[in-house]
Chains A and B, each alone.
Chain A
Amino acid sequence: MNYLPKSLAMGFLLAIFASSSVMAATHPVTGETLAEDQTFTYSLLDEFTSVDPQIVEDVSGSDIVRDLFEGLMNQDADGNLVPGVATGYTTNDAKDVYTFTLRDNAMWSDGNPVTAHDFVYGWRRLADPATASPYSWFAEIMALENVGAVMSGEASPETLGVSALDNHTLEVRLTSSLPYFAAMTTHASTYPTPEWVVRTSGSDWTKPENIVSNGAYVLTEHIPNERSVRERNSLYWNNDATILEKVVALVINDENVDFTRYLANELDKGTVPSGQFIRLKQDYPDEATSFPRLCNYYMTFNLSDSGPEAFKDVRVRQALAYAIDRSVITEKILQAGQINAFTFTPGATAGFEVPPVAFGQMSQDEREAKAKELLADAGYGAGNPLSFEYIYNTSEGHKKIAIAAQQMWKEVLGAQVTLANQEWKTFLKTRGAQGFELARGAWCGDYNEASTFLDLLTSPSGYNDGKFSNAEVDSLMLDARTMDDASANYTRVEEILANEMPVIPIYHYAGVFMLKTNVKGWPYDNVEQNWYSRNLYKVAK
């Protein structure tokens, strides 16, 4: 009976040793002491649509897919391109053939190696009409050879311009030169897909019990509209560098409850309720964060035949754009670090220098004086007031901005503006069918390049609801596609827009969130806010 206390003492000592070694864990690069519990819990405002790389269409779903899967290239904390499954790539002079070399130690979570064939399968699946992916248009803007014919079902997916030269070499053939093609492979829809799992489990392959993925995490639990859990994937090629053990995403539909639960320490990352950023920044200066987003907020004139005659006059459009005091909207109404906009493209966009457009250089008093002058020249005044209707989709935030603009137009220009709100999908239908006079609009970039915004105002764009058409803009944007540096074209297009004023830029978005101070590694400087949980870690408090 003597051995028992001894072994107990031994066990006790070992336990002390083990726990102290856990507690002493430090970050391999920074040397910070790491927290014992490496679980990161954050909130989603809504249930994500899918974790299938070729099906997912929302931001919160893409954030999860980015953890579960890994594409050819990744982004670093500043948004720069860094190797993912590919160790690098080469391209021809014409920049229409790209050859990616894949690392040989990348593995799926079931132990199979990740090969070029898995990418070929994923990309074909994206374009295949049988998949019916809502994101298959991404394959189209990637300009893959034969993509149009494949998407319309005229050609088989096997004819798509992507092939595996061997297990670790992927060749991509494009219909036109795309200098920024490699950056597009950070997008979730280009991630590889395990064909054998999709074949055996069908549409159930993304369920936690079936899913096989190649990212730093695997999906271990998913309860719709409540929570999803992803845990570290021990077979990930760079698993040694991962610090967070577990990532929990909770669906919390109300932003005030979200914030309360953040304060109650149920969340490491939470939402800032709208209009409260300034106060929270004072109370929690190290936790409340605002960052510029690649999104714009604008009002679009209906310039089609169904639009009002008044808006065909450029002076009227300019007067309305000049009369809006953007500072009131960003500083008094929104109060979360939004940026006054005088250009369509946000200044945070990579390679885009905000051009000094004339009306952006004036003071608000000068703009208002000019607005009055322009409208009087166009023949409107006290005896013949300008009147029109502004429509927006139902939301408290949009309503406040609409009321502010209505008031500004009335005070500065004497314009009589009626406001109308419509439920979201009804609104989209109305705007898409040019059933409006002036309508709210907003756009978020699909990739970090000015063309993602400016293409919207070209004649062939399907998103150009105001039907603005300018031959010079069209040709500048067409040329920009194949230029190594198209910034001069983008500057010129913005100047044309400032003169023609087909849309009134109001502000450029800011994103806000609360993040506990012990969470480190957040990519604050990545303007697309593409974050990877494997780069985050929690330090001991």
Chain B
Amino acid sequence: MINYIIKRIGIAIPTLLILIAVSFYLMHAAPGGPFTSERPLPPQVLANIEAKYGLDQPIWRQMINYLWGVITQFDFGPSYKYHDRTVNEIIGHGFPITLKYGFWSFIVAVGVGIPLGAIAAIRKNTWIDYLAVGISIGAQVLPNFVMAPLLIIVFTLWLDWLPGGGWNGGAWQYLIMPIIALSTSYMASIARITRSSMLEVLNTNYIRTAKSKGLPTKVIFFRHVLKPSLLPVISYLGPAFVGLITGSVIIDIYFSTGGMGYFFVNAAFNRDYSVMMGITIVVGSLTILFSLIADLLYAWIDPKIRY
């Protein structure tokens, strides 16, 4: 196991370096730069600015300087667009926000999705099953960019229960709508995966054996059904968790949360190279980390897998 973890980390570092190099070149390959605007800057002004940020140097040198700063000082550089902030500050501010609403959305998605799927599977072809499937399909087809404004109209404008947006340090009133909007589609997917995998397990010979030897339903469910049915769910949860905690541009736009997702997308439009790279590195590292964790969890649950 330890060897396997070391090996995976050994692969992760070059993967990350390749990710950085490819992103860096792609970013610079896009036409225009951070200071391209409708009002082209006089050449002298542009030269001053590019010299200040080192953008006048060849790309390979820019990349090495950048990486050196990241590795030695954990310095992601200044933002070219938001001049009052460094990239470290932008990520340091935005990431905890995204992490908070992402984490709670994950908890809600798992906490509602798995029981919903399980109930549907156990009470297959009853009204409970139809209701659960109906809810999950409804949640799946309602995209969050439709749900978010709808929630605001209902809870803010009509009912006047919740503030229409903002973050306020993550107070609960400001968390509810982002979590509902973000978690529903994940919840729906988890419910569907749980249901189908559980149905499969329920039809296996060893469950039939367990039933025939008279084991109580509870024991069958918790000891023999639940664990194997969760295998496909867990392989889904790894990437889902990364997706949730690395930000949703939709949530950030509609609920003005100030999270990282909006900065990421906006940085691409603004050619704000340093913000784009900084967030890419953070998101890339997290993706690698959580796929490793999901693999380890898998091994723990599935006795057939041994590293």
- A113-146 vs B, CB cutoff 8 Å, 1 = contact: the mask equals 0000000000000000110111011001000000
Contact B256 A225 (CB under 8 A): yes
- Confirm or deny: B262 has a beta carbon within 8 angstroms of a beta carbon on chain A: yes
A393 to chain B: closest residue by CB = B38
Contact A132 B31 (CB under 8 A): no
Which of A188-196, A254-262, A364-372 binds B? Answer: A254-262
- The answer to whether A253 and B82 touch (CB under 8 A), given A224-B90, A432-B40, is no
For chain B, which range describes its interface: under 10, 10 to 19, 20 to 34, or 35 or more residues?
35 or more
From A51, A222, A226, A257, contact of B152 by CB (8 A): A257
Among A50, A226, A257, find the residue whose CB has the most chain B CB atoms closer than 10 A.
A226
- Confirm or deny: B93 has a beta carbon within 8 angstroms of a beta carbon on chain A: yes
Residues of A contacting B262 in the complex (Cβ-Cβ under 8 angstroms): 225, 253
8 closest A-B pairs by CB? A425-B32, A226-B258, A132-B52, A129-B48, A261-B164, A429-B31, A50-B83, A225-B258
Contact A463 B32 (CB under 8 A): no
- Confirm or deny: A264 has a beta carbon within 8 angstroms of a beta carbon on chain B: yes
- Confirm or deny: A424 has a beta carbon within 8 angstroms of a beta carbon on chain B: yes
User: What's the Cα separation between A227 and B257 when bound, in Å?
Assistant: 10
B residues at A contact (CB < 8 Å) = 30-33, 35-42, 44-45, 48-49, 51-53, 78, 81-85, 89-90, 93-94, 148-149, 152-153, 156-157, 160, 163-167, 252-258, 262-263, 266, 269, 271
Contact A428 B36 (CB under 8 A): yes
Contact A223 B258 (CB under 8 A): yes
Residues of B contacting A151 in the complex (Cβ-Cβ under 8 angstroms): 42, 44-45, 48
Contact A462 B82 (CB under 8 A): no
B83 to chain A: closest residue by CB = A50
Docked complex: A211-231 residues within 8 A CB-CB of B:
222-227
Docked complex: A401-439 residues within 8 A CB-CB of B:
423-426, 428-430, 432
User: What's the Cα separation between A73 and B292 when bound, in Å?
Assistant: 62
B85 to chain A: closest residue by CB = A224
CB distance from A315 to the nearest CB of B (A): 30
Residues of B contacting A250 in the complex (Cβ-Cβ under 8 angstroms): 165-166, 256
Among B37, B45, B52, B253, find the residue whose CB has the most chain A CB atoms closer than 10 A.
B45
- Confirm or deny: A528 has a beta carbon within 8 angstroms of a beta carbon on chain B: no
CB distance from B61 to the nearest CB of A (A): 19
User: What's the Cα separation between A306 and B51 when bound, in Å?
Assistant: 32
Contact B258 A224 (CB under 8 A): yes
Contact A425 B82 (CB under 8 A): no
Contact B37 A428 (CB under 8 A): yes
Contact count A vs B, C-beta below 8 Å: 142
Contact A261 B258 (CB under 8 A): no
- Confirm or deny: A266 has a beta carbon within 8 angstroms of a beta carbon on chain B: yes
Contact B256 A226 (CB under 8 A): yes
A residues at B contact (CB < 8 Å) = 46-47, 49-52, 55, 129-130, 132-134, 136-137, 140, 148, 151-153, 203, 206-207, 222-227, 250-254, 256-257, 260-261, 263-264, 266, 423-426, 428-430, 432, 442-443, 462-463
CB distance from A20 to the nearest CB of B (A): 29
B250 to chain A: closest residue by CB = A254
CB distance from A333 to the nearest CB of B (A): 22
Residues of B contacting A463 in the complex (Cβ-Cβ under 8 angstroms): 39-40
CB distance from A210 to the nearest CB of B (A): 11
Contact A426 B152 (CB under 8 A): no
Contact B38 A442 (CB under 8 A): yes
Residues of B contacting A55 in the complex (Cβ-Cβ under 8 angstroms): 83-84
Residues of B contacting A223 in the complex (Cβ-Cβ under 8 angstroms): 93, 167, 258
Residues of A contacting B167 in the complex (Cβ-Cβ under 8 angstroms): 223, 226
From A136, A137, A260, contact of B153 by CB (8 A): A260
From B157, B163, B256, contact of A263 by CB (8 A): B157
User: What's the Cα separation between A463 and B38 when bound, in Å?
Assistant: 8
19 CB contacts below 8 A, A to B, read: A49-B81, A50-B82, A55-B83, A132-B49, A132-B52, A151-B42, A223-B93, A224-B85, A224-B89, A224-B90, A226-B167, A252-B256, A257-B253, A260-B153, A424-B269, A428-B37, A432-B40, A463-B39, A463-B40
- The answer to whether A224 and B165 touch (CB under 8 A), given A151-B45, A256-B149, A462-B40, is no
User: What's the Cα separation between A222 and B90 when bound, in Å?
Assistant: 12
